[in-house]
Copies of this chain bind each other. A is one copy, B any other.
Amino acid sequence: MQSDVQLLGTQVNLLWVVLGAAMVVFMQAGFALVETGFTRAKHAAHVVSTNFAIFGLGFIGFFLIGFPLAFGGFSYSAFGMDNAVGEALLGSGNWIFLFKGGWAMSGDGITPAVLGFFLYMVAFMDTVATIPTGSMAERWKWSSFTIWGVFCGAIYYPLFAAWTWGGGWLAKTWDTMSLGAGYVDFAGSGVVHAVGGVAALAGAIVLGPRIGKFGADGKPRAIPGHHIPMAMLGTFILLFGWFGFNAASTFAATDVQFATVAANTAIAAAFGSIAAMVYITKRTGKPDPGMMVNGMLAGLVAITAPCAFVAPWAAAVIGILAAILAIEAVFFIERKMKLDDPVGAIAVHGVNGIFGVLAVGIFSNGSYGAGWNGSASKGVEGIIKGDWGQLGAQALGVAVILLVIFPIAYGFFTIQNKVTKGGIRSAEEDEINGLDVPEMGVKAYPEFT
């Protein structure tokens, strides 16, 4: 029985989760604007519409079966929640396992708090779903895209989520393999961003580059985005939403670490944007707006896993490294791998998602995360504290993303490409003329272009 104060605390915790969910849902607008701004006007209705429709497509898959699949075996400690706080909020576990009737939020255990938790989680899933719309932009057939959305919400995202946040085997490697506190990922550098980033990679490989991206000599050509202010507005919306993404991942206003998380998030974003400005200016002579944007986003992606476990100085270092990594990765992916990723989604979400996961094992200072995943009660510690076990758990998670999750995405797009009449890529003529009219039936800007 909760006291009056505990009850009020639980109510406030739920309010924080719901507010956080609203902010993460709003991030869909940010992704839409960044991806649309950094691509061409003739495809703009198509690009923005994929980012619009993905919200509902992924949502429906997750609502019907993804949520119970991911969190049916849920344990509070896999979110770092105090068990008492978690039970006060959501009740005892196993409330929604798929085969106990949890599909379509229909089981007996569906309380308001479970619905609030679902809302927060569906918004995270949609972030995964929307990442490939960036790397696959300007050449992805609409009908093929829609299937990805449902697949991502129903099956693709829930897999790795179940193994980590759902309390699955990667969460338990502290016990089974003596690796730190098991896989720790505060708000999803890995569970969300890297998982989305490897899908973006798979999709870009299967689709191939846009017509004209590589010259006859194999050298990449710049294809400038059509609307820089749009992309920067999108980035600010993402920054705003990221406070909900990271800080509300305490699932508790009563865990004041949310303030540390929020500050670290901003610190990494700030240092990331400026590090990118300095680095790209050194490399090319100009403070390229696209790279400043990607530097901030890279910092945000990379801080997402470690944000609760590191000191402010480490957040700054993570932001700086993330920005440099993003810029080098953009060049590497384009010039060495000969892949076409119109918005840098692989570099930002994939590469820096992985970096963020590893950063937990490097920079965590032991001040937070005691009992995470049900492990022994010391805080999460990285190699700066002399502990290499946590880095091992994180590296194992990265290996699973690369060796298990990436092949699933690659297999999905490859099979879909084979079984779909004409493949998953838009018709060549449509791509050249712009996807807007043939795919969507309207132009984005009928009066400007």
Contacts and interface: CB of A to CB of B under 8 A. Distances in A.
A contact patch SS: helix
A104 B312 contact: yes
Contacts of A247: 18, 22
17 contacts: A15-B253, A18-B247, A28-B236, A44-B228, A52-B293, A55-B270, A56-B272, A63-B316, A105-B312, A106-B311, A106-B312, A112-B258, A112-B260, A146-B277, A225-B442, A226-B448, A228-B444
Interface string A226-260: 11111011011101100110010000011011111
A3 B57 CA distance: 47
Contacts of A289: 45, 48-49, 52, 440, 442
Interface in A44-83: 44-45, 48-49, 51-53, 55-57, 59-60, 63
A258 to B, nearest CB: 6
Given A45-B229, A48-B289, A448-B449, 20 more contacts: A4-B6, A11-B12, A14-B259, A17-B259, A21-B266, A32-B233, A40-B447, A42-B447, A48-B229, A52-B232, A52-B289, A53-B292, A56-B270, A56-B277, A63-B312, A106-B312, A115-B264, A228-B443, A229-B444, A288-B441
A63 B267 contact: yes
Contacts of A316: 63, 104
A41 B448 contact: yes
Contacts of A215: none
A422 interface: no
Interface stretch (A172-180, A193-201, A206-214, A279-287): A279-287
Contacts of A138: none
Interface residues of A, number: 114
Interface stretch (A116-124, A161-169, A341-349): A116-124
Contact of A284 (B119, B277, B439, B441): B441
